[in-house]
Structure 1
Amino acid sequence: MPALRHDARVDLDGYDRLCAAAEDGERLEYIDGQVFRMMVGGSTAHHALTRRLDGLIAARLAPGGPCASFRETMRLEAGTARFYPDVFVACGDGVVPDPDTKGVAGAAVILEVLSPSTERYDRGRKWLAYQRLPELRHFVLVAQDQRRIEAYHREGAGWRYELLQTPDAVLRLDAIAVTLRLDEIYAVVPTLATESEPRPPLAVFGPAQVARIAGLKGLAVPPGIEALLAELDAEECAAAVACLVGTEGLPRKEQWKNILPERLHCRLAAALREIS
Protein backbone atom coordinates (compact mmCIF):
# COMPACT_ATOMS: atom_id res chain seq x y z
CA MET A 1 0.00 0.00 0.00
CA PRO A 2 1.89 3.11 -1.14
CA ALA A 3 1.98 5.97 1.35
CA LEU A 4 1.95 9.50 -0.09
CA ARG A 5 2.70 12.33 2.28
CA HIS A 6 0.38 15.33 2.30
CA ASP A 7 2.67 18.36 2.63
CA ALA A 8 0.24 20.85 4.18
CA ARG A 9 -0.15 20.80 7.96
CA VAL A 10 -3.75 20.61 9.12
CA ASP A 11 -5.61 20.36 12.42
CA LEU A 12 -7.97 17.52 13.31
CA ASP A 13 -10.96 19.32 11.82
CA GLY A 14 -9.04 19.73 8.58
CA TYR A 15 -8.08 16.07 8.69
CA ASP A 16 -11.73 15.07 9.13
CA ARG A 17 -12.67 17.17 6.10
CA LEU A 18 -9.96 15.48 4.02
CA CYS A 19 -11.26 12.08 5.12
CA ALA A 20 -14.78 13.02 4.08
CA ALA A 21 -13.50 14.02 0.63
CA ALA A 22 -11.16 11.03 0.20
CA GLU A 23 -11.62 8.76 -2.78
CA ASP A 24 -12.88 5.20 -2.41
CA GLY A 25 -10.06 2.94 -1.31
CA GLU A 26 -7.99 5.79 0.13
CA ARG A 27 -7.28 5.94 3.86
CA LEU A 28 -5.68 8.93 5.52
CA GLU A 29 -3.43 8.68 8.57
CA TYR A 30 -2.64 11.67 10.76
CA ILE A 31 0.46 12.28 12.89
CA ASP A 32 1.48 15.60 14.46
CA GLY A 33 -0.50 17.73 12.03
CA GLN A 34 0.62 15.85 8.91
CA VAL A 35 -1.52 13.62 6.72
CA PHE A 36 -0.27 10.41 5.09
CA ARG A 37 -2.32 8.90 2.27
CA MET A 38 -2.52 5.10 2.37
CA MET A 39 -3.73 3.67 -0.94
CA VAL A 40 -5.38 0.27 -0.85
CA GLY A 41 -4.13 -2.17 -3.45
CA GLY A 42 -1.25 -4.10 -1.91
CA SER A 43 0.14 -7.41 -3.09
CA THR A 44 -1.63 -10.74 -2.83
CA ALA A 45 0.83 -11.79 -0.12
CA HIS A 46 0.09 -8.62 1.86
CA HIS A 47 -3.65 -9.23 1.79
CA ALA A 48 -3.25 -12.94 2.58
CA LEU A 49 -0.99 -12.31 5.56
CA THR A 50 -3.26 -9.57 6.91
CA ARG A 51 -6.31 -11.83 6.74
CA ARG A 52 -4.36 -14.72 8.22
CA LEU A 53 -3.06 -12.75 11.19
CA ASP A 54 -6.47 -11.30 11.97
CA GLY A 55 -8.11 -14.73 11.69
CA LEU A 56 -5.57 -16.54 13.86
CA ILE A 57 -5.67 -13.89 16.57
CA ALA A 58 -9.47 -13.54 16.57
CA ALA A 59 -9.86 -17.32 16.90
CA ARG A 60 -7.52 -17.44 19.91
CA LEU A 61 -8.82 -14.51 21.90
CA ALA A 62 -10.79 -15.60 24.93
CA PRO A 63 -14.48 -15.94 23.99
CA GLY A 64 -16.44 -13.16 25.65
CA GLY A 65 -13.19 -11.64 26.87
CA PRO A 66 -12.18 -7.98 26.98
CA CYS A 67 -10.22 -7.93 23.69
CA ALA A 68 -11.15 -7.81 20.01
CA SER A 69 -9.14 -7.97 16.78
CA PHE A 70 -9.51 -5.43 13.95
CA ARG A 71 -8.16 -5.15 10.41
CA GLU A 72 -7.04 -2.19 8.29
CA THR A 73 -10.59 -0.99 7.56
CA MET A 74 -10.95 0.13 11.21
CA ARG A 75 -9.29 3.33 12.39
CA LEU A 76 -7.12 3.41 15.49
CA GLU A 77 -7.29 6.64 17.49
CA ALA A 78 -4.21 7.39 19.57
CA GLY A 79 -4.65 10.77 21.22
CA THR A 80 -4.69 13.21 18.32
CA ALA A 81 -3.10 10.69 15.92
CA ARG A 82 -5.14 8.51 13.57
CA PHE A 83 -3.98 5.23 12.00
CA TYR A 84 -5.16 2.24 9.96
CA PRO A 85 -2.87 -0.61 11.14
CA ASP A 86 -3.01 -3.83 9.15
CA VAL A 87 -4.14 -5.69 12.29
CA PHE A 88 -4.55 -4.51 15.85
CA VAL A 89 -6.09 -5.73 19.09
CA ALA A 90 -7.89 -3.43 21.51
CA CYS A 91 -8.97 -4.34 25.01
CA GLY A 92 -11.31 -2.87 27.60
CA ASP A 93 -13.39 0.22 26.93
CA GLY A 94 -11.63 0.88 23.61
CA VAL A 95 -13.06 -2.26 22.01
CA VAL A 96 -16.38 -0.62 21.08
CA PRO A 97 -15.90 1.67 18.03
CA ASP A 98 -16.98 5.28 18.43
CA PRO A 99 -20.34 5.63 16.61
CA ASP A 100 -19.36 9.02 15.15
CA THR A 101 -15.78 8.43 14.01
CA LYS A 102 -16.03 4.63 13.70
CA GLY A 103 -12.63 4.55 15.35
CA VAL A 104 -11.25 2.45 18.18
CA ALA A 105 -9.38 4.18 21.01
CA GLY A 106 -6.11 2.49 21.93
CA ALA A 107 -4.48 -0.86 21.18
CA ALA A 108 -2.63 -3.53 23.15
CA VAL A 109 -1.13 -5.16 20.04
CA ILE A 110 -0.35 -3.70 16.60
CA LEU A 111 0.82 -5.74 13.61
CA GLU A 112 2.02 -4.23 10.33
CA VAL A 113 2.70 -6.29 7.19
CA LEU A 114 5.67 -4.59 5.54
CA SER A 115 5.52 -3.27 1.97
CA PRO A 116 8.44 -1.76 0.02
CA SER A 117 6.64 1.59 -0.28
CA THR A 118 5.65 1.88 3.40
CA GLU A 119 8.41 0.05 5.31
CA ARG A 120 10.39 3.19 6.14
CA TYR A 121 7.21 4.92 7.35
CA ASP A 122 6.16 1.88 9.44
CA ARG A 123 9.60 1.59 11.05
CA GLY A 124 10.11 5.31 11.57
CA ARG A 125 7.50 8.00 12.04
CA LYS A 126 4.64 5.56 12.64
CA TRP A 127 6.52 3.43 15.16
CA LEU A 128 7.58 6.50 17.11
CA ALA A 129 3.94 7.61 17.25
CA TYR A 130 2.76 4.14 18.31
CA GLN A 131 5.12 4.31 21.29
CA ARG A 132 2.93 7.05 22.77
CA LEU A 133 0.11 4.55 23.31
CA PRO A 134 0.37 3.76 27.04
CA GLU A 135 -1.55 0.49 26.69
CA LEU A 136 0.49 -0.84 23.74
CA ARG A 137 2.41 -3.98 24.73
CA HIS A 138 3.49 -5.54 21.42
CA PHE A 139 4.43 -3.99 18.06
CA VAL A 140 5.01 -6.58 15.32
CA LEU A 141 6.49 -6.17 11.81
CA VAL A 142 5.74 -9.02 9.40
CA ALA A 143 7.77 -9.39 6.18
CA GLN A 144 5.94 -10.51 3.06
CA ASP A 145 8.99 -11.43 0.94
CA GLN A 146 10.60 -13.85 3.39
CA ARG A 147 9.77 -15.65 6.63
CA ARG A 148 10.79 -12.93 9.00
CA ILE A 149 8.96 -11.34 11.92
CA GLU A 150 10.30 -8.60 14.17
CA ALA A 151 8.59 -7.79 17.44
CA TYR A 152 8.98 -5.13 20.09
CA HIS A 153 7.68 -6.12 23.53
CA ARG A 154 7.21 -3.46 26.19
CA GLU A 155 9.21 -4.21 29.32
CA GLY A 156 9.06 -1.56 32.01
CA ALA A 157 10.15 1.79 30.58
CA GLY A 158 11.67 0.25 27.44
CA TRP A 159 11.15 -2.32 24.71
CA ARG A 160 12.73 -5.70 24.01
CA TYR A 161 13.50 -6.46 20.36
CA GLU A 162 12.92 -9.99 19.04
CA LEU A 163 13.72 -11.45 15.62
CA LEU A 164 11.88 -14.63 14.52
CA GLN A 165 12.92 -16.52 11.37
CA THR A 166 12.81 -20.31 11.87
CA PRO A 167 9.56 -22.11 10.88
CA ASP A 168 8.99 -23.40 14.44
CA ALA A 169 9.62 -19.99 16.03
CA VAL A 170 6.75 -18.75 18.19
CA LEU A 171 5.50 -15.18 18.50
CA ARG A 172 4.20 -14.73 22.03
CA LEU A 173 1.69 -11.93 22.57
CA ASP A 174 1.45 -12.27 26.33
CA ALA A 175 -0.73 -9.18 26.78
CA ILE A 176 -3.62 -10.97 25.04
CA ALA A 177 -2.58 -14.57 25.87
CA VAL A 178 -2.07 -15.50 22.19
CA THR A 179 0.82 -17.41 20.59
CA LEU A 180 1.45 -17.71 16.84
CA ARG A 181 3.92 -19.98 15.04
CA LEU A 182 5.74 -18.68 11.99
CA ASP A 183 4.91 -21.73 9.89
CA GLU A 184 1.15 -21.29 10.44
CA ILE A 185 1.32 -17.56 9.69
CA TYR A 186 3.22 -18.07 6.44
CA ALA A 187 1.20 -21.11 5.36
CA VAL A 188 -0.90 -18.72 3.24
CA VAL A 189 2.21 -17.83 1.21
CA PRO A 190 3.34 -21.33 0.12
CA THR A 191 6.40 -20.21 -1.85
CA LEU A 192 7.81 -18.74 1.34
CA ALA A 193 6.54 -21.39 3.72
CA THR A 194 8.17 -24.27 1.79
CA GLU A 195 11.65 -22.81 1.34
CA SER A 196 14.27 -25.12 2.84
CA GLU A 197 16.70 -22.31 3.59
CA PRO A 198 15.80 -18.86 4.90
CA ARG A 199 16.91 -15.89 2.86
CA PRO A 200 19.65 -13.67 4.25
CA PRO A 201 18.08 -11.14 6.61
CA LEU A 202 17.57 -7.62 5.32
CA ALA A 203 19.61 -4.84 6.92
CA VAL A 204 16.62 -3.01 8.38
CA PHE A 205 18.50 -0.51 10.56
CA GLY A 206 21.72 1.35 9.92
CA PRO A 207 23.89 3.80 11.87
CA ALA A 208 22.27 6.80 10.17
CA GLN A 209 18.82 5.63 11.25
CA VAL A 210 20.00 5.12 14.83
CA ALA A 211 21.43 8.64 14.89
CA ARG A 212 18.21 10.08 13.45
CA ILE A 213 16.00 8.29 15.97
CA ALA A 214 18.30 9.39 18.79
CA GLY A 215 17.84 12.97 17.63
CA LEU A 216 14.06 12.55 17.57
CA LYS A 217 14.28 11.26 21.14
CA GLY A 218 16.15 14.43 22.17
CA LEU A 219 19.63 12.93 22.49
CA ALA A 220 22.59 14.95 21.23
CA VAL A 221 24.65 13.11 18.58
CA PRO A 222 28.08 14.82 18.35
CA PRO A 223 30.72 13.64 15.85
CA GLY A 224 32.30 11.33 18.43
CA ILE A 225 29.02 9.51 18.98
CA GLU A 226 28.39 9.37 15.21
CA ALA A 227 31.79 7.70 14.80
CA LEU A 228 30.83 5.05 17.36
CA LEU A 229 27.45 4.47 15.71
CA ALA A 230 29.19 4.02 12.35
CA GLU A 231 30.87 0.88 13.74
CA LEU A 232 27.57 -0.88 14.54
CA ASP A 233 26.47 -3.81 12.42
CA ALA A 234 22.81 -4.42 11.47
CA GLU A 235 22.06 -6.54 14.54
CA GLU A 236 23.62 -3.98 16.88
CA CYS A 237 21.68 -1.18 15.16
CA ALA A 238 18.41 -3.06 15.72
CA ALA A 239 19.26 -3.51 19.39
CA ALA A 240 20.20 0.18 19.67
CA VAL A 241 16.83 1.24 18.24
CA ALA A 242 15.05 -0.99 20.74
CA CYS A 243 17.01 0.60 23.61
CA LEU A 244 16.34 4.12 22.34
CA VAL A 245 12.63 3.71 23.01
CA GLY A 246 13.16 3.55 26.77
CA THR A 247 16.00 6.02 27.32
CA GLU A 248 14.00 8.80 29.00
CA GLY A 249 14.93 9.88 32.52
CA LEU A 250 18.50 8.50 32.61
CA PRO A 251 21.75 10.50 32.81
CA ARG A 252 23.26 11.15 29.39
CA LYS A 253 26.16 8.74 29.89
CA GLU A 254 23.86 5.93 31.01
CA GLN A 255 21.57 6.50 28.03
CA TRP A 256 24.37 6.03 25.52
CA LYS A 257 25.85 3.18 27.56
CA ASN A 258 22.56 1.31 27.14
CA ILE A 259 22.35 2.10 23.42
CA LEU A 260 25.92 1.25 22.39
CA PRO A 261 27.34 -2.29 22.61
CA GLU A 262 29.75 -3.01 25.45
CA ARG A 263 32.73 -3.24 23.12
CA LEU A 264 32.47 0.54 22.48
CA HIS A 265 31.98 1.67 26.09
CA CYS A 266 35.71 2.35 26.56
CA ARG A 267 35.50 5.23 24.05
CA LEU A 268 32.18 6.60 25.26
CA ALA A 269 33.50 9.11 27.83
CA ALA A 270 35.68 10.84 25.23
CA ALA A 271 32.80 11.05 22.77
CA LEU A 272 30.48 12.57 25.37
CA ARG A 273 32.96 15.32 26.22
CA GLU A 274 32.06 16.87 22.85
CA ILE A 275 28.57 17.66 24.14
CA SER A 276 28.58 21.05 25.77
Structure 2
Amino acid sequence: MVVFAQTSPPDVRKTRLTLDEYRAMEETNPERHEYRNGEIITMSGGSESHSAIASNLLIYLGFLLRDTDFRLYNSDLRVWIEEYQCGTYTDLMVVNGQPEFNSDRKDEILNPLLIIEVLSPSTEGYDRGEKFRKYRSLTSFCEYLLVSQTEPYIEQYYNLDRNSNDHWQWQVYSNIEGVIVLHSLTVEIPLNEIYRRINFSG
Protein backbone atom coordinates (compact mmCIF):
# COMPACT_ATOMS: atom_id res chain seq x y z
CA MET A 1 0.00 0.00 0.00
CA VAL A 2 1.25 3.48 -0.86
CA VAL A 3 0.79 6.19 1.78
CA PHE A 4 0.68 9.75 0.48
CA ALA A 5 1.82 12.71 2.55
CA GLN A 6 -0.59 15.58 3.08
CA THR A 7 1.83 18.50 3.31
CA SER A 8 0.55 21.88 2.17
CA PRO A 9 2.34 24.22 -0.24
CA PRO A 10 4.68 26.87 1.11
CA ASP A 11 2.88 29.78 2.73
CA VAL A 12 4.52 32.49 0.63
CA ARG A 13 2.93 35.80 -0.41
CA LYS A 14 -0.67 34.64 -0.57
CA THR A 15 -3.43 36.83 -1.93
CA ARG A 16 -6.87 36.36 -3.46
CA LEU A 17 -7.97 37.08 -7.02
CA THR A 18 -10.78 36.05 -9.30
CA LEU A 19 -9.87 33.45 -11.91
CA ASP A 20 -9.96 36.05 -14.68
CA GLU A 21 -7.71 38.38 -12.67
CA TYR A 22 -5.29 35.52 -12.06
CA ARG A 23 -5.12 34.59 -15.74
CA ALA A 24 -4.53 38.19 -16.76
CA MET A 25 -1.73 38.45 -14.19
CA GLU A 26 -0.03 35.25 -15.40
CA GLU A 27 0.06 36.51 -18.98
CA THR A 28 2.33 39.42 -18.05
CA ASN A 29 4.02 38.45 -14.78
CA PRO A 30 7.50 36.88 -14.96
CA GLU A 31 6.83 35.01 -11.70
CA ARG A 32 4.75 31.83 -11.60
CA HIS A 33 1.72 31.52 -9.36
CA GLU A 34 -0.61 28.71 -8.46
CA TYR A 35 -4.35 29.33 -8.38
CA ARG A 36 -6.17 27.49 -5.58
CA ASN A 37 -9.87 28.30 -5.67
CA GLY A 38 -9.25 32.03 -5.52
CA GLU A 39 -6.07 31.94 -3.48
CA ILE A 40 -2.86 32.91 -5.28
CA ILE A 41 0.46 31.46 -4.16
CA THR A 42 3.76 32.72 -5.53
CA MET A 43 6.01 29.79 -6.38
CA SER A 44 9.73 30.12 -5.77
CA GLY A 45 12.23 30.00 -8.61
CA GLY A 46 14.37 26.95 -9.35
CA SER A 47 18.08 26.30 -9.04
CA GLU A 48 20.61 25.65 -11.81
CA SER A 49 20.42 21.91 -11.10
CA HIS A 50 16.62 22.02 -11.20
CA SER A 51 16.69 23.70 -14.59
CA ALA A 52 19.39 21.38 -15.98
CA ILE A 53 17.57 18.21 -14.89
CA ALA A 54 14.28 19.43 -16.37
CA SER A 55 16.12 20.26 -19.61
CA ASN A 56 17.75 16.82 -19.72
CA LEU A 57 14.34 15.19 -19.36
CA LEU A 58 12.81 17.46 -21.99
CA ILE A 59 15.56 16.70 -24.51
CA TYR A 60 15.68 12.95 -23.94
CA LEU A 61 11.93 12.40 -23.74
CA GLY A 62 11.35 14.71 -26.67
CA PHE A 63 13.64 12.57 -28.81
CA LEU A 64 11.96 9.33 -27.74
CA LEU A 65 8.46 10.66 -28.40
CA ARG A 66 9.12 12.59 -31.60
CA ASP A 67 7.37 10.06 -33.90
CA THR A 68 4.56 9.08 -31.54
CA ASP A 69 1.12 10.45 -30.72
CA PHE A 70 2.37 11.66 -27.34
CA ARG A 71 2.91 15.38 -26.81
CA LEU A 72 5.49 16.67 -24.36
CA TYR A 73 5.16 20.09 -22.71
CA ASN A 74 7.47 22.11 -20.49
CA SER A 75 6.51 24.41 -17.62
CA ASP A 76 4.99 27.12 -19.82
CA LEU A 77 1.51 25.56 -19.62
CA ARG A 78 -0.70 25.03 -16.58
CA VAL A 79 -2.68 21.97 -15.63
CA TRP A 80 -6.25 22.87 -14.73
CA ILE A 81 -7.80 20.64 -12.07
CA GLU A 82 -11.53 21.24 -12.19
CA GLU A 83 -12.47 19.35 -9.02
CA TYR A 84 -10.26 21.62 -6.93
CA GLN A 85 -10.53 24.78 -9.05
CA CYS A 86 -6.75 24.71 -9.22
CA GLY A 87 -4.36 25.90 -11.90
CA THR A 88 -0.79 24.75 -11.40
CA TYR A 89 2.45 24.39 -13.32
CA THR A 90 4.36 21.15 -13.80
CA ASP A 91 8.01 20.82 -14.74
CA LEU A 92 7.05 18.47 -17.58
CA MET A 93 3.88 16.75 -18.69
CA VAL A 94 2.89 14.38 -21.48
CA VAL A 95 -0.49 14.19 -23.19
CA ASN A 96 -1.71 11.23 -25.23
CA GLY A 97 -2.95 12.56 -28.57
CA GLN A 98 -4.51 15.98 -28.75
CA PRO A 99 -4.43 18.22 -25.70
CA GLU A 100 -7.75 19.10 -24.11
CA PHE A 101 -7.89 22.76 -23.13
CA ASN A 102 -9.95 24.44 -20.44
CA SER A 103 -12.72 26.28 -22.35
CA ASP A 104 -11.06 28.69 -24.77
CA ARG A 105 -7.77 28.78 -22.85
CA LYS A 106 -4.75 27.53 -24.79
CA ASP A 107 -2.52 27.67 -21.70
CA GLU A 108 -4.50 25.30 -19.44
CA ILE A 109 -4.33 21.55 -20.09
CA LEU A 110 -7.00 19.17 -18.79
CA ASN A 111 -5.64 15.75 -19.79
CA PRO A 112 -2.05 15.06 -18.71
CA LEU A 113 -1.05 11.40 -18.82
CA LEU A 114 2.38 11.69 -17.19
CA ILE A 115 3.59 14.49 -14.91
CA ILE A 116 7.19 15.02 -13.83
CA GLU A 117 8.24 17.28 -10.97
CA VAL A 118 11.86 18.10 -10.14
CA LEU A 119 11.81 18.51 -6.38
CA SER A 120 12.79 21.75 -4.63
CA PRO A 121 13.15 22.21 -0.86
CA SER A 122 10.30 24.73 -0.71
CA THR A 123 7.76 22.62 -2.63
CA GLU A 124 8.80 19.00 -2.08
CA GLY A 125 6.20 18.30 0.60
CA TYR A 126 3.44 19.82 -1.51
CA ASP A 127 4.50 17.90 -4.64
CA ARG A 128 4.39 14.63 -2.68
CA GLY A 129 1.15 15.31 -0.86
CA GLU A 130 -1.63 17.74 -1.68
CA LYS A 131 -0.54 18.42 -5.25
CA PHE A 132 -0.36 14.70 -6.03
CA ARG A 133 -3.82 14.20 -4.52
CA LYS A 134 -5.17 16.89 -6.81
CA TYR A 135 -3.48 15.39 -9.85
CA ARG A 136 -5.08 12.02 -9.08
CA SER A 137 -8.52 13.55 -9.58
CA LEU A 138 -7.71 13.83 -13.30
CA THR A 139 -9.01 10.76 -15.14
CA SER A 140 -6.23 10.88 -17.74
CA PHE A 141 -3.42 10.99 -15.16
CA CYS A 142 -1.70 7.65 -14.50
CA GLU A 143 2.01 8.24 -13.86
CA TYR A 144 4.04 10.59 -11.69
CA LEU A 145 7.79 11.07 -11.35
CA LEU A 146 9.41 12.96 -8.47
CA VAL A 147 13.04 13.69 -9.31
CA SER A 148 15.58 14.72 -6.68
CA GLN A 149 18.06 17.41 -7.64
CA THR A 150 20.49 16.69 -4.78
CA GLU A 151 21.19 12.99 -5.43
CA PRO A 152 20.36 10.34 -8.02
CA TYR A 153 16.99 9.46 -6.55
CA ILE A 154 13.66 9.23 -8.35
CA GLU A 155 10.27 8.10 -7.08
CA GLN A 156 7.77 6.72 -9.55
CA TYR A 157 4.05 6.36 -8.94
CA TYR A 158 1.92 4.65 -11.55
CA ASN A 159 -1.57 3.25 -11.91
CA LEU A 160 -2.02 0.51 -14.50
CA ASP A 161 -5.74 0.10 -13.73
CA ARG A 162 -7.42 2.94 -15.59
CA ASN A 163 -10.82 1.93 -14.15
CA SER A 164 -9.77 2.60 -10.56
CA ASN A 165 -7.83 5.30 -8.72
CA ASP A 166 -7.03 2.99 -5.80
CA HIS A 167 -4.22 0.90 -7.26
CA TRP A 168 -1.25 3.24 -7.43
CA GLN A 169 2.12 1.51 -7.23
CA TRP A 170 5.41 2.97 -6.04
CA GLN A 171 8.99 2.37 -7.09
CA VAL A 172 12.30 4.02 -6.22
CA TYR A 173 15.38 4.38 -8.44
CA SER A 174 18.68 5.34 -6.83
CA ASN A 175 21.30 3.63 -9.00
CA ILE A 176 22.79 6.10 -11.47
CA GLU A 177 23.29 3.17 -13.87
CA GLY A 178 19.64 2.18 -13.58
CA VAL A 179 16.84 2.60 -16.11
CA ILE A 180 13.31 3.85 -15.48
CA VAL A 181 10.46 2.25 -17.39
CA LEU A 182 7.70 4.79 -18.02
CA HIS A 183 4.63 2.57 -18.12
CA SER A 184 2.31 5.21 -19.56
CA LEU A 185 4.59 5.78 -22.56
CA THR A 186 6.24 2.35 -22.89
CA VAL A 187 9.69 3.92 -23.05
CA GLU A 188 12.81 3.73 -20.90
CA ILE A 189 15.04 6.52 -19.57
CA PRO A 190 18.49 5.87 -18.08
CA LEU A 191 19.14 7.77 -14.86
CA ASN A 192 22.50 8.90 -16.20
CA GLU A 193 20.64 10.77 -18.96
CA ILE A 194 18.36 12.48 -16.46
CA TYR A 195 21.38 13.48 -14.37
CA ARG A 196 23.74 14.20 -17.25
CA ARG A 197 26.34 16.82 -16.22
CA ILE A 198 24.81 17.23 -12.76
CA ASN A 199 27.41 17.67 -10.02
CA PHE A 200 26.17 16.29 -6.69
CA SER A 201 29.27 17.31 -4.76
CA GLY A 202 27.97 20.86 -4.45
Q: TM-score of the superposition, structure 1-length normalised?
A: 0.61
Higher percent of residues as strand: 2
Of 22, 44, 52 in structure 2, the residue corresponding to residue 15 of structure 1 is: 22
Structure 1: which amino acid aligns with 2:188?
T
CA separation of 1:121 and 1:111: change in aligned 2, threshold 3 A: same
Distance 1:97 1:168 in 2: 40
For residue 123 of structure 1, what is the aligned residue in structure 2? 128
Question: C-alpha root-mean-square deviation of aligned residues, in Å?
Answer: 2.6
Structure 2: which amino acid aligns with 1:23?
N
Of 82, 107, 112 in structure 2, the residue corresponding to residue 107 of structure 1 is: 112
Q: Determine if contact 2:155/2:172 at 8 Å carries over to the other structure.
A: yes
Task: Could you tell me which runs of 5 or more consecutive residues in structure 2 were left unpaired when the two chains were aligned.
Answer: 1-8
Distance 2:103 2:188 in 1: 29
**Percent identity of equivalent pairs:** 28
Q: CA deviation at 1:97?
A: 9.3
Q: CA deviation at 1:112?
A: 0.4
What pairs up with 1:150-189 in 2 under 5 angstroms? 150-156=155-161, 157-189=166-198
Distance 1:170 1:31 in 2: 35
Structure 2: which amino acid aligns with 1:68?
R
Distance 2:101 2:37 in 1: 25
Provide the aligned length of Structure 1 versus Structure 2.
Answer: 187
Structure 2: which amino acid aligns with 1:167?
I
Q: CA deviation at 1:18?
A: 4.1
Q: Determine if contact 1:5/1:35 at 8 Å carries over to the other structure.
A: no
CA separation of 1:27 and 1:163: change in aligned 2, threshold 3 A: same
Structure with bigger gyration radius: 1
Q: CA deviation at 1:174?
A: 1.9
Q: CA deviation at 1:99?
A: 6.5
Q: Determine if contact 1:52/1:188 at 8 Å carries over to the other structure.
A: no
What pairs up with 1:135-154 in 2 under 5 angstroms? 135-154=140-159
Higher percent of residues as helix: 1
CA separation of 1:127 and 1:116: change in aligned 2, threshold 3 A: same
Q: Determine if contact 1:172/1:179 at 8 Å carries over to the other structure.
A: yes
Distance 1:66 1:117 in 2: 34
Distance 1:134 1:6 in 2: 31
> SS in structure 2 opposite 1:55?
helix
Q: Determine if contact 1:12/1:33 at 8 Å carries over to the other structure.
A: yes
Q: Determine if contact 2:101/2:107 at 8 Å carries over to the other structure.
A: no
What pairs up with 1:1-276 in 2 under 5 angstroms? 5=12, 7-20=14-27, 23-24=29-30, 26-40=31-45, 42-63=46-67, 65-79=68-82, 80-94=85-99, 100-156=105-161, 157-189=166-198, 191-192=199-200
Structure 2: which amino acid aligns with 1:58?
G
Q: TM-score of the superposition, structure 2-length normalised?
A: 0.81
